[in-house]
Structure 1
Amino acid sequence: MEKKNVCILKLLIILITMLSIILTYIPISSAASSTKIIDIVEITDLHGYLYNTVKMQDRSTLKQQIGAILANEIKKIKNSNPNTIILAAGDMFQGTPVSNILKGKPVIDMMKNIGFDAMTIGNHEYDWGIDAVIDTKRKTLKNSDIPVLGANIYDKNTKKIVNYCQPYVVVNKANTKIGIIGVVDNKEFPNIILPAYIKNVEFKDPVFIVNNLARKLRSEGVKIIVVLAHMGGYMNNNILTGNIAEFAKNVKGVDIILGGHTHSVVNTKINGIPVCVANCQGKGYIHIKVKLKNGVANVVKQEYVDITPLFNISNPPMDKEVLEVIEKADKQVSRKFSKVIGTAVSDITREQRAKPYGDSALGNWATDAIREFAHTDFAFTNNGGLRIDLKKGPITLGDIYQLMPFDNTIVILKMKGSQIKTILEEAVQDNGKGIQVSGLTFKYDMKKPSMNRVYDMKMSNGTPIEMDKVYTVATNNFMATGGDGFKEFTDPSVAKTYTDTYKLLRDVFIEKIQKQKELKPSLERRIFSSDEVSLSLHGYLNESMLIMK
C-alpha cells in the first residue's frame, strides 16, 4: 500500500511538472507570435540617376552605378525580412539622358525588379505629360503594378480625385494591414508645373484629407498608417522647417511621414511622429523598423542611410539584375550622348554671387544664349531650370541633357518696363525663387516690403529702363505661363503678345556651345543686393579716406 502511494505521488509530481512546463511555454509562444517586425524603406527624387559619370581630378571619368548599388542595399533588407515595404516619394524619372530619352522606362524596370509597393506622384512626373510614365486607366506606373498615389489631387470638373492617382493603398505584411496614403505639396505644385498640364487640376490642403482617410483606414483594421508625401523641408539647428513640418504638426492618426521634393536629408520627429526625407539622386534611403506587438505599432528604428561612399570604390556591391537593366538602357543612348560638343575652360557654376538672390556664371551664359537666339532686349530664365554645373573639361551632349532635362521652348513677349519690374519683384519677393537675366542689371533691398524691393534697373549699356516703354523679352514657356510664381507673364496685356518659337532651350544651348567651342564663365555682375552695395560703398569711402590722409 505504501509503495502504491509512493508511485501515485511520483506520478503526480511528473504530471505537475509537465503541466508547469506546458503552462510556462504557452505564454512565451503566444508573445513571440504576436510580435512582428516590419521594415519600411523609402527613396525619393531619383531624377533618373541610374548612373552618373564623374570627372576625376586626373581628368579620367568614373561611372557610378547608382541604381545597381541602391538596388543591392534595398534587396539586402528585403531578403532579411519578407515583411518589407518599399516606397518612392516622387520625381523619379526626369533628369538624366538615359531616363529622359527612354521616358522613364529603365527607372520603372528597376523599381519593378526591386519590388516597390507604391509611389506618390511628384511635380516632375508632369513634365512629359501625365500619361508618359503613368497608366491612367490602372493608376499605376506604366507596364507595372506599382500604384501611383495622390489623395489631394482633384479634377476641377468632376470634383473627384484625378483619374491617374489612387488616394491610398493597403499592403498586407505579416498578416497586418498597413495603409499608405499619398499626398503632394499643395502650396508648391501650382507654381512649379507647366500650367498647361494642370489647368483643370486643384491641389487641395492634404491635412483634412489625411485625417479623414486615417480614421477610415483605422476603422477597417489598418494597424500602421504611413503618409508618403512629395513635400519637404530642411533641418536648421535640429529644427525641421518647411511645408512638411507644418503638415506634420496638424495631422492626426498617422504613424510615419515620409517626404521628398526638397533634395534634403530629414530624420526627426514631430509630435512623436517620425518625419523623414531621403535626399535625392539615389544618394541614400530612409530605413524604418516598426515593431508590432499585440496590435500596437512602435517605431524602434529610423535612420537615413548614406550610400555615396559606395559610389567611388572599385567593385562596389551591385545587384546584377538591375545592372543588366541599366546597361541595356545605356547602350541605347550612350553613343549619342558621349559626343563631345565643346570645352569648358573652367568650372561654370550656378553659384549666385549675391545673397539671397543673385546672378551666376551659368545663368549669365544661359540667358545670353536665349537672348541671342531670340534677338530680344532682355532674356530671363528660372534658377530651377538649370540642373547641373558645367565642369572644367570636355562638354558632352549628355551633359547638356542633364543641364536642361526639360523640353521647354523659347517664348517671346512684349512688356512694359513696369511689367518687367514686377517680374523682378516676383523673383526677390518673400519666398521668391530668384531669376537669371540677360540685357539688364538691377538692385534690390531685402529690408523693403515684399514686391517693393527692386530699384536702379538699367539696360546692359547703362541706359535706365523706362516704365512706360515697351521692350521685347525672351524666356521659357514654363515661366511665360506663370511657372515658379512669375504671374506677371500671364497678365492679359502680356499674354496676348505670347509667341512660341518652338525652339527647345536645350537645342539653343547645344548650338551655342558648338559655335563657341570654348566656354568661359562670365564674371560681370547683373544682380546686386543693397547689402553688398552698401559694403562696396563703405569700402570705397574707407579707401578714399586713406588716400586723403
Structure 2
Amino acid sequence: MARHSKRQAGAYSLVLISTLFSLAACGGGDDTTASTQPPATAQPAEAKPLSLTLLHVNDHHSHLDAESVKLNLMTAAGKREAIDVEYGGFARVTSAIQSLATASRNVVKIHAGDAVTGDLYFNLSNGKADAEMMNTVCFDSFTLGNHEFDNTDSGLKTFINYLHAGNCKTPVLSANAKFAATSALANGPVKASTVVERDGQKIGIIGLTIADKTKNSSRPDAGTTFDNEAVAAQAEINRLRAQGINKIVIASHVGYTGELALAKQLSGVDVIVGADSHTLLGPKATMQPLGLTPEGDYPTRTTDKDGKPVCVVQAWQYSYVVGELKVDFDKNGDVVNCQGTPHVLIGDTFKRGTVAVSDADAAAIRQDIAASGVLRITTPDTAAAAKLAGYKADKDALGKKVVATAPTNLCLRRVPGTKRDATRSTLGDVCNKDADVIAHGGDVQQLVAQAFLERGKAFFNADISIQNGGGVRVDLPAGNVTVGGIYSVLPFKNTLVQLKMTGAEVKATLEDAIASVVANNTGSYPYTGGLRWKVDLNQATGARLSQLEVKTASGYVPLDLAKIYSVVTINFLADGQDGYTTMKSVTGTRRTEVGLDYAEAFLTYVDGLPGTTKQLNKLPVADYSTQSFTDTP
C-alpha cells in the first residue's frame, strides 16, 4: 500500500485552547504576500459563541468505486495480521457524511477540489458521474483544484453545468482564478467566496487554487491567470470582515505544506480545509500499527500572522476519508477550541487474500476497529450506489472497448540481453528470443515511456520521460488492444510528476538505475522517451552509460550536463524507489505533482494515434532508449 499511496487518516481529537496557540507569529513581513491588517470587524447582529462542524473531502479524482487495502488488524490470536478490507467508494462518503451530519450541529460540508481525472469514470463521462455523486452529498462549497482545468476552461464549464444540474447548486470557489473575457467561465459560476449561516452566525468560505502548478501543469485557457494565493485570500478576508463576518474558513487547494505557510501570511483566518497534496493526518501512535502513515496531526494547529489560532486539516484522497472537524468560536469569532476525526471508511468483510476470516477473527477485528478511533465501518448509501450503478456498468463495458490494434506482438522485457531477464514475456520464445528485444529491451516499456513524454509535452513542455522497466507488467499481444488491457499494463496507482533536473542529474539517475540492475534488481532498468544511450555493464559504477543523446526537433544531440531539462516520471520513482536515489533529491520548486494517472496517460496516447483504425506499432529502433547493451561475462 505504501507504494501507491502515502497517507491515510483516523479519529483524532486535539483540543486547541487559545493558550496552546501562543506560538509567536512569523513570516508576516513579506511584501509579496499578504501584509495588510484586516479592517476592524463590525459585530454581527447577534454576537455569540458558535460551535461548528466541518465535514470535508478532497482529491477524490473520479475514484468512485470502493477499493481493496491490507490493514494490520488484531485477530483472535492476539496479534496483528495483514487483512484485506474494502475501503473508500463515494457511496461510503455519502453515507458517512449523512450519518455524521445527523449527529452534529451547525454542519458545513466542503469539497476542497480535484474531483476529476484519475479513473475511467472521468474518461467515460467527462465528470458527469463525479458531479452526480457529489450531489448526493450537497456540499456547501467546492474549490477548484488544478485538475479541474485539465480539459480547459470549456471542459470545466461543462463539469460545473453537471454539478449545477441538480438541486444542490454547490457554490464553486476560487478567489485567485481570473478568467479572460473569451473564457467559457467569464462572468460565470466561479466565485471568490460564499457565506453560509448557522445558528444565526455567518461563516465565510473562501476558495483558493494552487497558482503556479495549475498554470504550468494543467490546461487552463491562455488568458486564465491565477493570482498569488495569500494576496487573494487576504483581500477576500478583508472584504468579508468588513461585512461583519468574523468566522473565516479557507477551502484551499494549495497543499499541506503550502497551507501551513499560508496561515502564517494571513490575518483573520480561522480554519484551512486543505487539498492537493493528498495528505493523511492523524495520530501516528494509533495509525502506524494499522499500516497507515500520517504526516501530521488532525487537526494541525498553527497561528496566523497575528498569533491567533488556525486549525489546518486535510482528508487524504480517493474517497478514502471523511474529515470531521469541530470548531468552537467565541463571540468575537476567534477559535477557542478545535478537535477532529479523520474517518477512514471501510467495509465489514475481512479476508486473508480471497478467503474470509473465521467468525472468531472477525469478532476480534471488529473490536480492534472500534477501539482504533480511526477506522469507521460504513455501509454505502443505497441511493448513491444505485446512481453509480449505471455508470459502473458503462465503465465495465469501457474496459472491454477496443481502442487500437497491435499489428505485431509488443513484447515485455525489463533488461536487454540474454542473462538477466531472458524469460520475462508470457508470450514465450516469440518475444523472449526476439533479436530486437534482446538488443534493445521491451517494446511495451518503450511505448509507455513515449506516452509519458507525449503527455508531459502537452502539459509542461517535457523534454524527457523516465520509467522503470518493472513498472510495466504485461505484454500486449498482436491483435486488439482494449482499455482494460492498457490498465493491465500499468495496474498501480502511480501518477505523473514533473522534475526540473540538470543533465548531470539525469545521467546520475540512470546510472543509479543501472547500478540497481547490477545488484540484481531487474525492475530498475530504465526506459526513456526522448533520450537514448549505450550501456556497458563492465564499466565502473557511474560510468556504465555513454553517448547519451536527447531528441530535439532537429534530431538527436548530446545530453548537456549543465542544462536544466523538464523530466516527466512517476511519483514512485520521484520518491527514490527502485534505486532511483538521485531523483529523491529533486525537491521543492523543482518538483511538481502533476497528478495525472499514469495508465490514463498511456490510454490518451493510444487514443491519439492517427487514423480511424488506430495501430499501436513498435517505435523505430532509433528511438529506443537502449541503443546497445553489453552485459558482464
What TM-score do you get using the length of structure 1 for normalisation?
0.59
Quick one: distance in 1 between partners of 2:54 and 2:188? 27
Quick check: 1:146 aligned with 2:170?
Answer: yes
Letter in 2 for 1:330: K
Aligned to 2:316: 279
Aligned to 1:258: 273
Secondary structure in 2 matching 1:222: coil
CA deviations on 1:294-315 (whole Å, 9 max, x unpaired) are: 3544363333524254386489
Aligned counterparts, 1:450-489, within 5 A: 462-463=546-547, 465=549, 470-471=554-555
CA deviations on 1:6-54 (whole Å, 9 max, x unpaired) are: xxxxxxxxxxxxxxxxxxxxxxxxxxx9554221011111000110455
Between structures 1 and 2, the one with greater helix share: 1
Change (3 A) 1:281 1:254: same
Aligned pair partner of 2:102 in 60, 65, 79: 79
Confirm or deny: 8 A CA contact 1:71 1:114 kept in the other structure. yes
Letter in 1 for 2:605: L
Confirm or deny: 8 A CA contact 1:86 1:118 kept in the other structure. yes
1:382: Cα distance to partner? Answer: 5.2
Q: Percent identity?
A: 20
Aligned pair partner of 1:437 in 507, 528, 532: 528
CA deviations on 1:210-234 (whole Å, 9 max, x unpaired) are: 222212212212231100111103x
Change (3 A) 1:382 1:294: same
Letter in 2 for 1:324: A
Confirm or deny: 8 A CA contact 1:139 1:148 kept in the other structure. no
Quick one: distance in 2 between partners of 1:312 and 1:381? 44
Letter in 2 for 1:187: D
Confirm or deny: 8 A CA contact 1:37 1:289 kept in the other structure. yes
1:365: Cα distance to partner? Answer: 5.3
Quick check: 1:366 aligned with 2:428?
Answer: no
1:155: Cα distance to partner? Answer: 3.2
1:124: Cα distance to partner? Answer: 0.9
Quick one: distance in 2 between partners of 1:158 and 1:365? 37
CA deviations on 1:95-137 (whole Å, 9 max, x unpaired) are: 1112321111122112111120111101111122333343699
Aligned to 1:493: none
Quick one: distance in 1 between partners of 2:115 and 2:236? 26
Secondary structure in 1 matching 2:301: strand
Letter in 1 for 2:103: S
Change (3 A) 1:505 1:84: same
Confirm or deny: 8 A CA contact 2:149 2:156 kept in the other structure. no
Quick one: distance in 2 between partners of 1:119 and 1:397? 31
Change (3 A) 1:282 1:123: same
Confirm or deny: 8 A CA contact 2:132 2:162 kept in the other structure. no
Quick one: distance in 1 between partners of 2:134 and 2:551? 53
Quick check: 1:187 aligned with 2:212?
Answer: yes
1:178: Cα distance to partner? Answer: 0.7
1:468: Cα distance to partner? Answer: 10
Quick one: distance in 2 between partners of 1:112 and 1:467? 47
Quick check: 1:98 aligned with 2:141?
Answer: no
Secondary structure in 2 matching 1:114: coil
Quick one: distance in 1 between partners of 2:231 and 2:378? 45
Aligned counterparts, 1:35-184, within 5 A: 36-52=50-66, 54=68, 66-81=89-104, 83-134=106-157, 141=164, 143=166, 144-155=168-179, 163-184=188-209
Quick check: 1:246 aligned with 2:261?
Answer: yes
Quick check: 1:505 aligned with 2:605?
Answer: yes
Confirm or deny: 8 A CA contact 1:442 1:457 kept in the other structure. no
Confirm or deny: 8 A CA contact 1:362 1:389 kept in the other structure. no
CA deviations on 1:42-67 (whole Å, 9 max, x unpaired) are: 111100011045599xxxx9976611
Change (3 A) 1:137 1:508: closer
Quick one: distance in 1 between partners of 2:414 and 2:320? 23
CA deviations on 1:272-315 (whole Å, 9 max, x unpaired) are: 31122221111213221122443544363333524254386489
Quick one: distance in 1 between partners of 2:627 and 2:502? 16
Change (3 A) 1:137 1:465: closer
Secondary structure in 1 matching 2:379: coil
CA deviations on 1:318-343 (whole Å, 9 max, x unpaired) are: 11111111112112231231579999
Quick one: distance in 1 between partners of 2:85 and 2:485? 15
CA deviations on 1:430-480 (whole Å, 9 max, x unpaired) are: xxxxx972363579xxxxxxxxxxx9897xxx545399993169xxxxxxx
Confirm or deny: 8 A CA contact 1:140 1:147 kept in the other structure. no
How many residue pairs match? The answer is 401
Aligned pair partner of 2:301 in 269, 272, 279: 269
Give ranges in structure 1 of 5+ residues lacking alignment. Answer: 1-32, 234-241, 349-359, 373-378, 406-421, 430-434, 444-454, 474-481, 486-502, 517-521, 527-539, 541-549
Secondary structure in 2 matching 1:73: helix
Query: Does 1 or 2 have the higher relative contact order (CA < 8 Å, sep 6+)?
Result: 2
Letter in 2 for 1:148: V
1:389: Cα distance to partner? Answer: 6.1
1:77: Cα distance to partner? Answer: 1.2
1:265: Cα distance to partner? Answer: 2.0
Confirm or deny: 8 A CA contact 1:192 1:484 kept in the other structure. no
Change (3 A) 1:53 1:513: farther
Letter in 2 for 1:193: S
Quick one: distance in 2 between partners of 1:110 and 1:224? 29
Letter in 1 for 2:53: D
1:188: Cα distance to partner? Answer: 2.0
Quick one: distance in 2 between partners of 1:120 and 1:464? 44
Aligned to 1:302: 339
Aligned pair partner of 1:216 in 224, 232, 239: 239
CA deviations on 1:411-445 (whole Å, 9 max, x unpaired) are: xxxxxxxxxxx98649869xxxxx972363579xx
Aligned to 2:372: none
Quick one: distance in 1 between partners of 2:414 and 2:380? 32
Letter in 2 for 1:45: D
Secondary structure in 2 matching 1:113: coil
Aligned to 2:521: none
Quick one: distance in 1 between partners of 2:248 and 2:198? 13
What TM-score do you get using the length of structure 2 for normalisation?
0.52
1:138: Cα distance to partner? Answer: 8.2
Aligned to 1:291: 328
Give ranges in structure 2 of 5+ residues lacking alignment. Answer: 1-46, 71-83, 282-297, 304-308, 352-376, 404-408, 416-441, 455-461, 493-499, 508-525, 535-541, 558-565, 570-602, 619-623
Aligned counterparts, 1:197-208, within 5 A: 197-208=220-231
Quick one: distance in 2 between partners of 1:212 and 1:254? 12
Change (3 A) 1:441 1:329: same
